[in-house]
Amino acid sequence: MRHRSRRLMFGSLIASLALLSGLALVDSQRHARIVEDIAHAGDQVSAYQDAAYLSAREMSLLRASAANPRSAERRQVLGADTEAYQATLRIAELNPEATTVVQRQIHLRQVIIGYLSMLDHGKITEARESLETAIAPTYRRNAAKLLELRNRYQQEYDQRVADARHDSRRLLLAAVFTFVLSLIVIALFVWNSRAHRRQVETMATTDMLTGLPNRIAFTEHLHRALAVAPPDRTAPGVTVLTVNINGFRHVNDQLGPHVGDRLLAEAGRRLSTVVRDTDMVARTGGDEFAIMLRDLDPARAEDVAARLREAFDEPFQLDDVTVDLEISIGAATAADGDDVSTLLGNADSALHDAKEQHDGYRRFTGHSAQDSTDRLTLLGDLRRALTDASQFTLHYQPKIGLGGAGGLVGVEALARWHHPARGPVPPGQFVPVLESTSLIHPFTERVLTIALQQAREWLDAGHRIPVAVNLSTRSLLDESFTDRLAALLASTGVPGELLCIEITEHTVMSDPSTTIEALNRVRALGVKTSIDDFGTGYSSMTYLKLLPVDELKIDRSFVADMVTDPSSRALVASSVDLAHNLGLTVVAEGVEDAATAEALAALSCDTAQGYHFARPQSAADLTAGLPQRQPA
Ligand code: C2E
Ligand code: CA
Ligand code: CA
């Protein structure tokens, strides 16, 4: 609106300027004509004056010749007459009204010639009479007419000069006015382009969605803050918090970018209410925010982080959708010589740890700087590994039935990466890195393909061995996942019930309702589902009842301690009961000794998995041992 009215004002100013210039042009042309007219009128006036003078001169020569026929004047009469005649011809050219004067002059010439001949023949009296009766009256009439015309043109001339003066004054005024107006237009133009530049600058440094500063502005301010940070180490300096909204991508995918945008705007607003005016909150990309805390005791960053997380306790209400969101925060305080990218990188690395450990807040503690460089190198290596068919393989760990016939009831496929230079890299080191990028999708596809091809091979060899595959949250929530899974099942011809998808309890609890939907889609393909690492994710009973799962795997941390630690044993016991009440099969992971296996059997746990029975092994090794393990 402001923009439009400014444009309107500009337009009208320029239009009036153009109008004024047009008028000035017309005026100056008119002025040129006036000047021409003045010159013309001036010519006329002087022509009459000349004619009047020459004819008066002729008359005086005539009179002198009458007084003395032999005088010098007598000899000049004819020449003077010619000059007077030519002068009258000139005025007749300028003004047709003067033709009578010319005619009289011509007539006068005849009479004068007669007069001169009388003089020359000594007829002085006759000559004088002719002078008085014929020449002098004609001369007077001509003189009177010339005077009259001259006066008229003099008047016209005076009028024109007066007009011209008046016009000049108006032209001057118009010029001054145009000049002032031009100055105004130029001033407005300068002001406008400055305002425009300021607007562009603001746009370049502001995140339009949240109205917060963007990454560019943030790094710039951080750079300045670091430059003025106190040299003395005891004083508080700059702390950076990087904030990420857990599961935001999923909300965005499920509810649409429109809802996602509103969520981000509201999230930005909530974050801003927590910090002080001297601090800075910025949106640095996607669902990432960064906060710069100045002059803050580094230890107090934790309080700020807690308050930031509290700000997300309240659900987000958007039209008819209520969304619960949590944030993860990484913090890093500037050390001597830290630059912007180091500090941000440190905070990001702490954030990464916070997310990986399912911990809402982590502070950068120094040694993980190496980790983050490692992480980058690792990412590059992983990207290459995914194009190389040989680097990723699967090991299979048997799942052993504890009751009844016992024996092999299935296997869990565990990814193995053989790094060309570093050798084997454990999945705990590279899977989280993959999960932080979209590389997790091709990786999951690779794992599922290998696992299903292996299940197919076993089927062809006469072994029905269910294979469990670990699935990361991102893969499960990927919209195209179920379709790809269906295609893989179809292409390998493996029945859905021979595949089990393991997802961790954390995955389920980070967004139960969406996970339930995704699990239902997987189950519709006949595929089994399992909750991994059970006991670490604070499941709520309400959700457990609703979860479309077939199996519950008790986390190995409880299983490992159950013989020595009564509380672990109690947790295992209650998990077994709970699972059975919900009609699920229970698997205990990490069974490392016979005592644990016995204790589990005593608690009626269905299945066990662990080094006590078998380590994860290659498909070939496992196949080699099959005839002995295969239930009859
Ligand atoms: P997990 O799903 O809990 O897998 C079981 C882990 O426990 C495996 O470690 C296995 O080698 C180990 N384990 C088995 N028996 C014992 C035992 O008796 N004692 C002890 N201490 N450990 C035992 P691994 O192979 O290093 O895998 C670690 C984690 O990496 C897995 O934990 C899983 O979360 C993840 N992972 C492995 N493969 C994949 C995969 O293909 N995709 C995804 N998304 N994650 C995977
Ligand atoms: Ca697992
Ligand atoms: Ca597990």
* Three-state secondary structure of 65-127: HHHCCCCHHHHHHHHHHHHHHHHHHHHHHHCHHHHHHHHHHHHHHHHHHHHHHHHHCCCHHHH
Query: Is residue 586 pLDDT above 70, yes or no?
Result: yes
Residue with the smallest CA separation from ligand 1 atom 10 is 616
Residue with the smallest CA separation from ligand 1 atom 46 is 470
Buried b (16+ CB within 10 A) or exposed e, 458-484: bbeeebebbbbbbbbbbbbbbeebbeb
Which atom in ligand 1 lies closest to the alpha carbon of residue 471?
44
Average pLDDT over residues 488-503: 97
Average pLDDT over residues 577-593: 95
Ligand (nearest to CA of 592) = 1
Using DSSP bridges, classify how beta strands 467-470 and 499-504 pair: parallel, antiparallel or unpaired.
parallel
Q: Tell me, letter by letter, the H, E, C secondary structure of 443-488.
A: HHHHHHHHHHHHHHHHHHCCCCCCEEEECCHHHHHCCCHHHHHHHH
Ligand (nearest to CA of 537) = 3
Least confident among 181-185, 293-297, 490-494: 293-297
Buried b (16+ CB within 10 A) or exposed e, 505-533: bebbbbbbebbeebbebbbebebbbbbbb
Least confident among 49-58, 267-276, 465-474, 547-556: 49-58
pLDDT of amino acid 31: 78
469 Cα: distance to centroid of ligand 2 (angstroms) = 7
Q: Which of 34-48, 249-263, 490-504 has the highest mean pLDDT?
A: 490-504
pLDDT of amino acid 591: 96
Residue with the smallest CA separation from ligand 1 atom 45 is 470
Residue with the smallest CA separation from ligand 1 atom 33 is 470
Q: Are 62 and 131 in contact (CB under 8 A)?
A: yes
563 Cα: distance to centroid of ligand 3 (angstroms) = 19
Confidence of residue 502 (pLDDT cuts 50, 70, 90): very high
Which atom in ligand 1 lies closest to the alpha carbon of residue 397?
14
Confidence of residue 515 (pLDDT cuts 50, 70, 90): confident
Ligand (nearest to CA of 431) = 1
Look-up of token digits 């308050």: 307
Residue with the smallest CA separation from ligand 1 atom 8 is 414
Ligand (nearest to CA of 500) = 2
Quote the CA–CA distance of 596 and 215 in Å, as a whole number: 53
Residue 96, burial from CB neighbour count under 10 angstroms (0-12, 13-18, 19+): exposed
Quote the CA–CA distance of 165 and 155 in Å, as a whole number: 15
Residue with the smallest CA separation from ligand 1 atom 35 is 427
Which atom in ligand 1 lies closest to the alpha carbon of residue 427?
30
* CATH topology match: 215-364 vs 393-624: no
Tokens found for residue 628? 């002995």
Residue with the smallest CA separation from ligand 1 atom 42 is 470
Look-up of token digits 């199996």: 551
Class (C level, CATH) for 2-188: mainly alpha
Residue with the smallest CA separation from ligand 1 atom 24 is 427
Quote the CA–CA distance of 231 and 396 in Å, as a whole number: 56
What's the mean per-residue pLDDT of the chain?
87
Query: Is residue 263 pLDDT above 60, yes or no?
Result: yes
Residue with the smallest CA separation from ligand 1 atom 20 is 590
Beta-carbon count within 10 A of 588 CB? 32
Among 360, 338, 341, CA closest to 351 = 360
Q: Are 201 and 217 in contact (CB under 8 A)?
A: no
Over the stretch 84-117, which tens digit does the pLDDT of each residue have?
A: 889 888 888 877 878 888 888 888 888 899 998 9
pLDDT of amino acid 453: 98
Quote the CA–CA distance of 496 and 570 in Å, as a whole number: 35
Give the pTM.
0.51
Query: Is residue 632 pLDDT above 60, yes or no?
Result: no
Quote the CA–CA distance of 446 and 204 in Å, as a whole number: 42
Confidence of residue 631 (pLDDT cuts 50, 70, 90): very low
In a mutational test of the pocket of ligand 1, which residue from 391, 418, 470, 557 has the highest number of ligand atoms less than 8 Å from its CB?
470
Residue with the smallest CA separation from ligand 1 atom 12 is 590
Query: Is residue 161 pLDDT above 70, yes or no?
Result: yes
Q: Are 27 and 174 in contact (CB under 8 A)?
A: yes
Tokens found for residue 422? 């570093």
Does domain 215-364 sit in CATH 3.30.70.270? Answer: yes
Which atom in ligand 1 lies closest to the alpha carbon of residue 435?
44
Angle, vertex CA 205, rays to CA 202 and CA 209, nearest 5: 90
Identify the residues whose C-beta falls under 6 Å from ligand 1. 397, 414-415, 426-428, 431, 447, 470-472, 532-533, 556, 589-592, 610-611, 616
Please give all residues whose CB falls under 5 A of ion ligand 2, grouped by chain where several chains appear: 470, 502, 532
414 Cα: distance to centroid of ligand 1 (angstroms) = 6
Average pLDDT over residues 294-316: 85
For residue 253, give Cα distances in angstroms to 204, 504, 505, 552, 622. 27, 21, 22, 28, 41
Quote the CA–CA distance of 199 and 6 in Å, as a whole number: 14
Ligand (nearest to CA of 413) = 1
For residue 77, give Cα distances in angstroms to 73, 106, 139. 6, 15, 14
Query: Is residue 494 pLDDT above 70, yes or no?
Result: yes
Q: Are 347 and 329 in contact (CB under 8 A)?
A: no
Q: Is 417 helix (H, G, I), strand (E, B) or coil?
A: strand
CATH of 393-624, one of 3.40.50.150, 3.90.199.10, 3.20.20.450, 2.10.109.10: 3.20.20.450
Ligand (nearest to CA of 505) = 3
Which atom in ligand 1 lies closest to the alpha carbon of residue 502?
2
Quote the CA–CA distance of 382 and 311 in Å, as a whole number: 37
Average pLDDT over residues 405-433: 90
Which atom in ligand 1 lies closest to the alpha carbon of residue 447?
41
380 Cα: distance to centroid of ligand 3 (angstroms) = 27
Query: Is residue 373 pLDDT above 80, yes or no?
Result: no
Over the stretch 473-486, which tens digit does the pLDDT of each residue have?
A: 889 988 899 999 99
Q: Where are the domains of the chain?
A: 2-188, 215-364, 393-624
Ligand (nearest to CA of 446) = 1
Over the stretch 199-226, which tens digit does the pLDDT of each residue have?
A: 887 777 888 889 999 888 898 999 988 8
500 Cα: distance to centroid of ligand 2 (angstroms) = 10
470 Cα: distance to centroid of ligand 2 (angstroms) = 5
Confidence of residue 282 (pLDDT cuts 50, 70, 90): very high
Average pLDDT over residues 236-251: 85
Residue with the smallest CA separation from ligand 1 atom 23 is 590
Residue with the smallest CA separation from ligand 1 atom 3 is 533
